[in-house]
Structure formats: C-alpha cells, structure tokens
Amino acid sequence: MLKGMKRLFGAQDMTTGSPAAAMLLFSIPMLLGNFAQTLYGTVNAIIVGKCLGDSALAAVGICQPIQFLFFVFFMTIGTGVTVMVAQYFGAKEYKRLSECIGSSFTLIAAATVLIMCCAPLSGTILKLINTPPEIYDMTRDFLFVMFIGCMGSGFYNIISGILRGLGDAFFPLIVLLISVVLQVALDLLVILVFGWGLVGMGIVTAFSQLVSAIACLIKVAHLKGVVKIKRETLKPKKEMVMQIMRLGLPAGISQGIMSLSFVFVQSFMNAMGPFIITCMTSVMRVDQFAMLPNMAFNTAASTFTGQNIGANKMERVKKGGQAVVLMGFVAAVVIVALLLIFGKSFISMFTDTQDVIQLGNRMLWIMSLGYIANSFMQTYGGIMRGAGDTIATMWITIISNVILRVPLVYVWVRLSRSAKWPNGNPDSIYASMAIVGTVGAIMTFLYFRTGRWKSKGVIKRSEKAVEFAPTD
C-alpha cells in the first residue's frame, strides 16, 4: 500500500498501461484540485457577500476578468512549459527537461515584475470599463493588492503545471487542499476580527499562493533521476525560451483575447448597474464549478498526448483521445441536468436577494445550452495542445471571440433595450456566450479532423503517425 501511495505522489509514466485508466487516474485528482481551488473562490464569495454585502461581491466580480487578462503572461509560459515537460518526459530526455524548467523560472520572474508594475494603473483600468462610482474605491484597492501579490500565483501555476506535465496530479491536489483550509481560516480572521475587508482577503490570497508555490518547488527539486535543479540548468537557454514562447504565445494570445472579450462584455454588464453585476458574479461562480470536468479532462488529454507523442506512441494517443472525449461528454450531460434542476439553490448560496436568484437561474438555463459543446472543444483542444499545436486554437479563439462575440454582443444588447432594460437585456449577453461556445466547438472539431496537429511536436521524427479518428 505504501509503495502504491508513493507511486501516486511522483512522476507518472502515461505511455504504458490502459490509456483510459491512465486518463481517469490523472483526471480525478485534477478534478478534485480544480474543485478545491474553485471552492475557495466560492467560499470567499459567500464570505464577502454575507459579511461585506452585495457591493463588495460586485467589486470582486469586476476584478476577476481583469486579473485573468493580466495573468495571461503566466498562462503563456505555463502552457509552453507543460507541453515541453510532458514530451521530454515521454521521450526520457531528462537533461532537456531540466533545462526547460530552469528557463521557465527566468521567464516567470520577468512576467511577475511586469504585472506588479501595473498596480498603479488599477484606477485607470476600472474607469475604462465603466465601474460604478459607488463601488469604485473598494474595487481599486482590491485590484491593487492582487497585482502586487501576483508572485505566488505565477510561480504556483507554473510549478504545479510542471508536476502535471510529469503526470503528477496528486501532489498539487494535496497542496491545494491545505491552501484552501489556510486561506478560508485567514479570510475569516482578517475580515471578521481585523476588519481589513477586501484588502485583507487579497493579502491572504497572495500569501497562501506563495506558500503553495514554495511547496511545489521543493517537490520538483526532489524528483531524483528526473529533474536536476542546479546552477547549470537554472541558466536560461535561448533555445528553450524560444520553444516555450513558440508553444505558449499562441495559447497566451488566445487567453488574452478571451479575457479582453470578457472585459468587453463586463463593460456592458457594469453599465446595467450593481444589481446585474451581483447577479453575474453569482452566476459565474456556479459556471466555474460547471466547467471543472472540462478543465480536468483538457489537462489530462494534454498531458497524456504530450507524453505519448514524446514516446512516439500515436496509437495510444488515438485510444486515449477517444476515451477522454467520451468522459467529457458524459460529465457535461450530468452537469447540465444538475443546473436545470438545482439552479436556484446554487445561486442562493451567494445571495438572499430573490430577484438576483430568479434572474441568475434564468441565466444558468441559457448558459447550459453551451456546456455540452464546450466539452468537445476542451477535450479535442487538449489533445491538440499536448501535441504542440497551439496556433490552431489561437485562430479559433480569434474568430469566435473577436469576429463573432464582440459584434454579436454589441448589436444584441443595443437591440434588446427597453423600458425595463434601458441599457440592454442581460439575457442577450448569456445567450451570446452559448452561441460563441458552440461555434468554437464546431471549428475545433473540424480542424481536429484534418490531423494537421500531429506534426507539431517538440521532438521531431520521420516515422509516419497512425491515423487518428475520434470514434472507430
């Protein structure tokens, strides 16, 4: 038993054994880890909403897409590093794997400094997106703290991504569980006892993530026989930096564009007033939970594909891909059923205002139309990313989120204005999300069928890859 537990808390070779079992074994701790992280955000929202009021909850909701936009720098590096780590590990090229990790540390340090320098611009950013005057001050202060404290978040996401690229999803899970307990306890302390409000919550978040990053770094440093962190490997290698950016930059651009489109949508929400902002914040918290299975299967597909392409086992990529697509579809059907049945109960966890609960439930019904399509987009996208093809998903994101989402929301909101909704009906915004997600899923599937993603790996070989189809 101890031997089995030790095996779980280390680098996992996903190039042998049952592909479906390997994917499921990796997905479960990923799902639990994502759940723990989202649970912390949800508990935070409950604490803020119940202890500090709807205005504070709205302030947190406004900051979320902005944080996501600026943290794209971390995602850019993380995507490239995770793909490279998985492929080098699958190919047993441990020296290059260590050099990749060392180069990523230099990149993440530079990104951290850049984001911290944006803190003085917090107020300007909030004014640009029509933040209501009554919640401007508290929103600005909270955003400032999140910018200043971004170091822990950056390093934690990169280092935990390295562990996942090595097939270890259990250790990041344990770190997350401990971190969640620590953060909730400290949040209650700084809000209820010290009275520090949202600023105190931001400080707690930054501190807890820094502790998590240090714990994951210690774990990586002790992976003997796989990773060697020493002066030689910590020096940034131009080849590695360029490869990380080649793989990560398209993914970063994708996330940045998606974030900008959400900020664009947020500006319409903000113009509708604090009531709609509070409703949106509650709905998006539920949406985060609904997306957890897709996120877990996306990462599992990416890691599995990366390791097996590194090992030149394309037949396993085919079998594993079929398994993860099916798992994602089944999970999405269950999620949609839960939202349709228990939508009001989920929204009521964040607020006692009946009007918010009623409107939030309707928004969940509208959004649920896109969850099944999104499951296909995430699983197929994960396979392509693990293979090293991040450019295709970038163009799909540009088409769906810029060419389609922006004009669709703009026109639909303007056309939906009425005496009841002078600044536009919020239903139009959530319906556009479902439409955009479905179109993105269709484009992802069509590109996936071309098979062009198979030749984008870090490790080039002349062998012809076997044909891949999503179903037999």
What are the structural domain ranges in the chain?
Answer: 16-455
Cβ(9)–Cβ(168) under 8 Å? yes
Length of the chain: 472
> How many C-beta atoms lie closer than 10 Å to residue 113's C-beta?
11
How many whole angstroms separate alpha carbon 64 and alpha carbon 115?
A: 15
How many whole angstroms separate alpha carbon 375 and alpha carbon 300?
A: 13
Tell me, what's the pLDDT at 380?
Answer: 92
Per-residue pLDDT 10s for the chain (472 aa) are 434 444 445 567 788 888 888 888 888 888 888 787 777 777 777 888 878 887 888 888 888 778 877 777 788 888 888 888 888 888 888 888 888 888 888 888 888 998 899 899 999 988 887 888 888 898 999 999 999 988 888 888 888 888 888 888 788 888 888 888 888 899 899 988 888 888 898 899 889 889 988 998 888 888 777 777 777 777 778 888 888 888 888 888 887 787 777 777 778 877 787 788 878 878 887 888 888 888 889 888 988 898 888 888 888 888 888 899 999 999 999 999 998 888 888 888 777 778 888 888 888 888 887 888 889 998 999 899 888 888 888 898 888 888 888 888 888 888 888 888 888 888 888 888 888 889 999 999 999 988 888 877 666 554 334 444 443 3
Q: Which of 10, 234, 251 is nearest to 100 (CA)?
A: 234
Please name the residue that has the structure tokens 């890691």.
Answer: 303
* Helix intervals (H) in 117-226: 122-128, 136-148, 150-165, 170-188, 197-221
- Read off φ and ψ for residue 220, nearest 5 degrees: -60, -40
How many whole angstroms separate alpha carbon 303 and alpha carbon 407?
A: 35
35: three-class secondary structure by DSSP: helix
Q: Which of 268, 220, 226, 252 is nearest to 415 (CA)?
A: 268
| Residue pLDDT, tens place only, 171-200 | 888 888 888 888 889 989 998 888 888 889
Dig out the tokens for 62 from the structure.
């406004």
How many whole angstroms separate alpha carbon 99 and alpha carbon 229?
A: 9
Looking at beta carbons, which pairs linking 133-140 to residues 24 or more positions away fall under 8 Å? 134/55, 134/274, 135/55, 135/56, 135/58, 135/59, 135/62, 135/274, 138/55, 138/56, 138/59, 138/197, 138/198, 139/59, 139/62, 139/63
Percent helix, percent strand, percent coil in the chain, to nearest 5: 80, 0, 20
> How many C-beta atoms lie closer than 10 Å to residue 128's C-beta?
11
Dig out the tokens for 267 from the structure.
């500006």
Tell me, what's the pLDDT at 466?
Answer: 40
Helices and strands (H, E) in the chain, number of each type: 20, 0
346: three-class secondary structure by DSSP: helix
Cβ(176)–Cβ(292) under 8 Å? no
Please name the residue that has the structure tokens 């934690």.
Answer: 156
